[in-house]
Amino acid sequence: MLVNCNSCQKKFSVPDSAITEKGRLLQCGSCGSKWTQYPVKEKSVENIKKIITVKKKQPSNLNKIKTSVKKRKREISLYSEEYLKKKYGLTIKDTSNHLDKKKVKDSFSFYNYLVIISIFIITLFGILNLLKDVIIASYPITESYINYLYEVLNIVKIVISELIDYF
Q: What is the pLDDT of residue 163?
A: 93
Residue 95 lies in a domain: no
Give 161's pLDDT tier (boundaries 50, 70, 90).
very high
Residue 29 lies in a domain: yes
Residue 48 lies in a domain: yes
Residue 150 lies in a domain: yes
Closest CA to 48 of 4, 106, 84: 4
* Number of compact structural domains in the chain: 2
Phi, psi for residue 49 in degrees, rounded to 5: -65, -40
Evaluate if residue 149 carries a pLDDT over 80.
yes
Phi, psi for residue 143 in degrees, rounded to 5: -60, -45
Taking a C-beta distance cutoff of 8 angstroms, is the pair 163, 156 a contact? Answer: no
Taking the whole predicted model, whether its pTM rises above 0.85 is answered as no
Residue 114 zone, left/alpha/beta (φ > 0; ψ -120 to 50; rest): alpha
Residue 81 lies in a domain: no
Taking a C-beta distance cutoff of 8 angstroms, is the pair 34, 17 a contact? Answer: no
Residue 38 lies in a domain: yes
Given 16, 42, 57, which residue is the final one in a domain? 57
Range of the domain at 113: 108-166
Side chain identity at 97, as an amino acid letter?
N
Residue 136 lies in a domain: yes
Residue 68 lies in a domain: no
Q: What is the pLDDT of residue 137?
A: 93
Helix, coil or strand: residue 52: helix
**Interval 17-38 mean pLDDT:** 81
Distances from the Cα of 48 to the Cα of 3, 7, 13, 16, angstroms: 14, 21, 17, 17
Q: Which residue has the higher pLDDT, 84 or 138?
A: 138
